[in-house]
Chain A
Amino acid sequence: MSFIKTFIDGEEGLFKSDTLTPMQKLTLRFVVVGLIYFGFVVVEGMLMRLYEVKPLPFITEPQFFAILTAHPLVGIFGSTYSIVFGAFLFLVPFLMKKPLWSIKLGNWTFILVTVGTFIFWFAGFISHYAPLYTLYWPLPADFKQFSVWGGTFFIAGIALVMVGSAFFVINIFKTITYTPEGWEKQPSKALLASALGITGFKNLFTKNKKEHLVTLPVAAVARGSVDVALNTAIILFTGVLILVYMVAAILGFDLKSTAIDALLYKNWFWWGLDLIADGLVLIFVAGTWYLLAMMISGKPLFMQNIARAALLVELVVSWTVWSHHLLSDQAQPAMLKVISGEMVTAFELITQGLAFFITLATLWSARPLKMTNPLKFLLGGLLGFALAVPAGIMQADVGLNRILHNTQWVIGPHVHVAILVGLTMTLYSAIYILFPILTNGAKVYSQKLVNVHFWCHLIGGIGMGAFMGMAGLKGMLRRSIYPDGEFNLFMILAAVCGTLLLIGFLAFFYNIVMSVGLKGVIGIFTPAKNKTKDLLPA
């Protein structure tokens, strides 16, 4: 096949978008948009890295901080939420062997997350609204530094994403519990109890143990979705609070920012934000590892009941660890610092370590395995969390936090390695394993490009985190600029690793486009001809 023909029709012309069901199209749309936003994040990251080395003439300082504000939010909501929501809206009905409760609601989730992300990104781009995602009170309501109109649109964009997230949660729980038309009545309460871990918890204290009605990966999605719901409520409430101040400012009233206690707000905000970082991400990732391990090995999960219990523990832990973000706040009660900030946070070492071990043990039981693309990316994802979680546990320590807080250590070896290597490589593993299912048998264009993607992403991600960490240990702060180039050596090395990440992403994106063809990519976004509610074509 000629290059042009492959570019237009895809590898061997195998991908036919006309054959896709509405559910396949919905999932693929989520994935495509998620990957495009990931591209945004990579480019933004590179721009900021270069700016850290030497201020770029076409980026002003306020614009730099606006990029810094949008960067994590586009990464979390635009990219990760899109890919995760798309995957789980497909996988939950797939594993429950019944249709999604509402494809229409799924489409609304897609539209709201996509449009909401673009609105807050664009608002930041135009107005340079830049209180950063931390939004420490009263910074978001400080209209001497930031445009009130920019902030209004920014918050409105975030609110749209949150509404989309709420729709996702509703769809997941309804799909688990509802009875499809023509089916025998489903035990909705028992299904819900099983999904949330209540059945397993009761089994600990009764002789007549009840069987689990939902599979382990579905239970993981349900428990992670509880944190999505709580996070949505917190961020929406916070957004409304900020909007009240903004609308008042637009109308000419100056509301007193001292009406909100800054420390209480900080506790509230971190409690909510940690439901993502230390909650749904870890739970969703553990559930995805388990599913991938079972699919790759074809074996039942090692220590399945323990894994189920650990997911419940992780959910409870995620509600009680927020204080590790406030170890440098001297007004924060010492008891909260030690119990929530240190001790409960240390549980994450156990729950994630346990998930790591269970996944490896499941794979081990099926050796010899073939080094497939899903397996290699899964191992990359496991390594990412194995590196990033202990880095986080170290900074969640009263003594060490005094010299690590707000340095590049936090954002490098912990956050970037967790997200880029741990989470993203897990998602790539899921994408590679779902690719033939979602495309009705399309073939990947080039295995060489897959390998380029893998090694560039792995080395680039770990390397970038490592050099940021070294800069942090030498005193380089995050969310700052060093115009005199004090940390240029580390930033240049991190930029080289960032370039590897960019090369890896471009190789992946090109490979996917060549696999499904330009016609196929466009076809994903046209209405489905096949109107079935089934997940896959008959």
Chain B
Amino acid sequence: MVDSKVVLTGQTMAYTFYCIVIILLVAWFAIKVTGKGKGLAVKPAIFYTFVGFLAVLGVSLHLITFNTIPWAEMDLNRSDYKPDKTFVIKVKDHQFIMPSEKLVINVNDKVLFDVQSEDLTYGFGLFRNDNSMMFQMQVVPGHRNDLLWHFDRPGVYTIRSTEYSGPKGVYMILKDAVQVIPANTTN
């Protein structure tokens, strides 16, 4: 599976390119609209082409991400998948209550995280050692909060609450709580 870091890199490049283009476009417009020249009416055809372009862009963005970001389809249809492992994690009084001290996962496992809040709305996210986020979800009390993830490479991850739940929520961190190891190490 494509790592979420790769997706972020692609997004960064696309958005940065767009920002440069739009800033240059507005700067060009500012120079031209105040420079020498005659005011001309813009042809409606240009306008309708632009509207069509926006419509295609808006829809195609989601179609492209749905077909290229691997977890998107898996997430929406997660009930159709059979997880290799399921971890039930409870959250109460700003504490993650884990099924075991470390969650050990084999490479290539599809893992379901079922996180249940008994009081407030929290978040549940996995973070790499360089602090970048691998994924997150909201943890709403009284509802099923389940996330299926395919781990395709070894790694050590920190669990952190990704939703504000009062000042205490900042410290809801379990360092290196998830370990993904090659399959033959545990079998």
Asked if A476 is an interface residue, CB under 8 A from chain B, the answer is: yes
Asked if B54 is an interface residue, CB under 8 A from chain A, the answer is: yes
Asked if B99 is an interface residue, CB under 8 A from chain A, the answer is: no
Q: Are A139 and B165 in contact (CB under 8 A)?
A: yes
Q: Are B167 and A130 in contact (CB under 8 A)?
A: yes
Asked if A494 is an interface residue, CB under 8 A from chain B, the answer is: no
CA separation between A299 and B41, bound complex, in Å? 11
CA separation between A146 and B165, bound complex, in Å? 11
Residue on B with the closest CB to A353?
B54
Spot the interface stretch: A201-209, A395-403, A528-536.
Answer: A395-403
Q: Are A349 and B58 in contact (CB under 8 A)?
A: yes
Q: Are A364 and B42 in contact (CB under 8 A)?
A: yes
Asked if A61 is an interface residue, CB under 8 A from chain B, the answer is: yes
Q: Are B42 and A266 in contact (CB under 8 A)?
A: no
Residues of the B chain whose Cβ atoms lie less than 8 Å from the Cβ of A61? 167, 170
Q: Are A403 and B133 in contact (CB under 8 A)?
A: yes
Q: Closest CB of chain A to B12's CB: distance in Å?
A: 6
Asked if B4 is an interface residue, CB under 8 A from chain A, the answer is: yes
Residues of the A chain whose Cβ atoms lie less than 8 Å from the Cβ of B186? none
Residues of the B chain whose Cβ atoms lie less than 8 Å from the Cβ of A368? 33-37, 39
Q: Closest CB of chain B to A100's CB: distance in Å?
A: 35
CA separation between A366 and B40, bound complex, in Å? 7
Q: What number of residue pairs across chains A and B have CB atoms under 8 A from each other?
A: 223
Q: Are B33 and A347 in contact (CB under 8 A)?
A: no
Q: Are B7 and A399 in contact (CB under 8 A)?
A: yes
Q: Are A399 and B137 in contact (CB under 8 A)?
A: no
Residue on A with the closest CB to B34?
A371
Q: Are B33 and A364 in contact (CB under 8 A)?
A: yes
Q: Are A142 and B143 in contact (CB under 8 A)?
A: no
A358-381 CB mask vs B (1 if < 8 Å, else 0) is 101101111111110001100100
Asked if A42 is an interface residue, CB under 8 A from chain B, the answer is: no
Spot the interface stretch: B83-91, B120-128, B177-185.
Answer: B120-128
CA separation between A448 and B75, bound complex, in Å? 55
Asked if B155 is an interface residue, CB under 8 A from chain A, the answer is: no
Contact of A328 among B39, B41, B59, B138 (CB under 8 A): B138
Q: Closest CB of chain B to A54's CB: distance in Å?
A: 15
Residues of the A chain whose Cβ atoms lie less than 8 Å from the Cβ of B59? 343, 346
How many chain B residues touch A (CB < 8 A): the figure is 74
Query: Given A361-B42, A476-B131, does the pair A330, B62 have CB atoms closer than 8 Å?
Result: no
Q: Are B142 and A330 in contact (CB under 8 A)?
A: no
Q: Are B50 and A357 in contact (CB under 8 A)?
A: yes
Chain A interface: which size bin?
35 or more
Residue on A with the closest CB to B143?
A331
Q: Are A475 and B132 in contact (CB under 8 A)?
A: yes
Contact of B120 among A138, A326, A364 (CB under 8 A): A138
Q: Are A136 and B121 in contact (CB under 8 A)?
A: yes
Q: Are B8 and A263 in contact (CB under 8 A)?
A: no
Residues of the B chain whose Cβ atoms lie less than 8 Å from the Cβ of A338? 76
CA separation between A399 and B4, bound complex, in Å? 10
Query: Given A130-B167, A346-B59, A369-B33, does the pair A406, B136 have CB atoms closer than 8 Å?
Result: yes
Asked if A254 is an interface residue, CB under 8 A from chain B, the answer is: no
Spot the interface stretch: A274-282, A428-436, A478-486.
Answer: A478-486
Q: Are A367 and B38 in contact (CB under 8 A)?
A: yes
Asked if A290 is an interface residue, CB under 8 A from chain B, the answer is: no
CB neighbors of B among A432-483 (8 A) = 466, 473-477, 479-481
Q: Apart from A262-B140, A328-B123, A399-B7, what 10 extra A-B contacts exist at CB < 8 Å? A: A137-B121, A302-B41, A302-B47, A329-B137, A331-B140, A347-B58, A364-B42, A403-B4, A475-B130, A477-B160
Q: List 9 A-B contacts (CB under 8 A).
A: A146-B166, A266-B140, A330-B147, A365-B40, A368-B37, A368-B39, A369-B34, A403-B4, A487-B131
Residues of chain B whose beta carbon lies under 8 Å from any beta carbon of chain A: 4, 7-8, 11-12, 15, 18-19, 22-23, 26, 29-30, 32-42, 44, 47, 50-51, 54-55, 57-59, 61-62, 65-66, 69, 71-72, 75-76, 119-121, 123, 127-128, 130-138, 140-147, 160, 162-168, 170
